[in-house]
Amino acid sequence: MGKRPLSPHLQIYRPQITSVMSTLHRLTGILLALGALQLALWIVAAAQGPEAFATIQAFNDSWLGRALLCGWTAALFYHLANGVRHLLWDVGFGFAPAQVATSGWITLAVAAALTLLTWLVGTGILDAGRIGASL
Amino acid sequence: MTMRTPLHQARGLGSAKEGVGHWWAQRVTAIALVPLTLWFVASLLCLIGADHATVLAWIGSPVPAVLLILFLTISFYHAQLGLQVVFEDYLHHKGGKLAAILVVKFACLLLGVATVFSVLKIAFQG
């Protein structure tokens, strides 16, 4: 490598919604891969038997387990909404600078709304039974 | 001086008629995961507070079992594809990069097989 000049790297630039959201997409992707471990444990424990299932449920019910689940849902909905944004780019929609910023804010709003809705239902503040009856 | 043709040396190092394979697989799995993920989160919300028997009954019934298997296999495949790109971009030591990619591939395969086996066991055995 030596002393040859390098092109400016990330720390040179002012954070913008485009770059921050791009970074967040990767970060949430990595986090979700870790969250998949908790999901895998839950399903394997369910198949294993009542004792194993009680253990994992106790963890999911603990403050750490709940905090993780809240974090996974936020990461999940961000990655999902921004993933749809990426898919729309892939087919050629919304590439103009103004559109990219607008779709960014819409993505953040959708992700926040879905996360909040999930937390409200998950904590029992919203009635899950009525929503469940229609599924 | 090498006796290998330029094409042979390039194979496996990038696009040799398979350049978009990884990219395409990532998009296809992403599209499939949109409805599956929404379904899964909604289902989990309905299962809050459920006891073991209720969870087993849900996992083992035909529609959830099939959708769960799809959700799990596609999720772990998608995770492997994504983490591979992260390692390719940020790990600069060639051996370390290969090792990390292989570890993630095997871990995702293990988790995928373990969870699918669990769903099948519950579906067929209770």
Q: What pLDDT, in 10s, does the model give residues A4-22?
A: 877 777 777 888 899 999 9
CA-nearest of A50, A108, A42, A49 to A69 is A42
- Across the A:B interface, residue pairs with CB atoms under 8 Å apart total 82
Asked if A28 contacts A79 with a C-beta cutoff of 8 angstroms, the reply is yes
Distance CA A57, CA A71 (A): 17
Pick the CATH number of B22-125 from 3.40.1160.10, 2.30.30.60, 3.40.1190.20, 1.20.1300.10: 1.20.1300.10
Whether residue A33 and residue B72 make contact (CB cut-off 8 A), yes or no, is: no
A2 belongs to a structural domain:
no
Domain boundaries, chain B: 22-125
> Has residue A49 been placed in a domain?
yes
What domain range includes position A54?
A: 18-130
Q: Does any domain span residue A8?
A: no
CA distance A16 to chain B (A): 21
Examine the pLDDT at A129 and tell me if it is beyond 70: no
Report the number of distinct structural domains present in chain A.
1
B37 and A76 within 8 Å at the Cβ level: the answer is: yes
- Among the listed ranges A19-23, B16-20, B21-25, B87-91, which one has the minimum average pLDDT value? B16-20
Please indicate, yes or no, if residue A13 is contained in any of the structural domains: no
ipTM of the complex: 0.87
Q: Would the pLDDT of A128 be above 70? A: no
Looking at the partner chain, which of B45, B76, B86 has a beta carbon nearest the beta carbon of A36? B76
B-chain CB neighbours of A84 within 8 Å are: 34
CATH code where residue A56 lies:
1.20.1300.10
Measured N-to-C along each axis, helices B21-46 and B62-90 cross at an angle, to the nearest 10 degrees, of 130
Q: Which residues of B touch A30 (CB under 8 A)?
A: 82-83, 86
User: What is the structure's pLDDT at B21?
Assistant: 87
Phi, psi (5° rounding) for residue A8? -60, 140
Residues of B in contact with A90 (CB under 8 A): 27
Q: Which among A30, A14, A25 is positioned nearest to A108, based on CA atoms?
A: A25
CA separation for the pair B82, B64 (Å, rounded) = 26
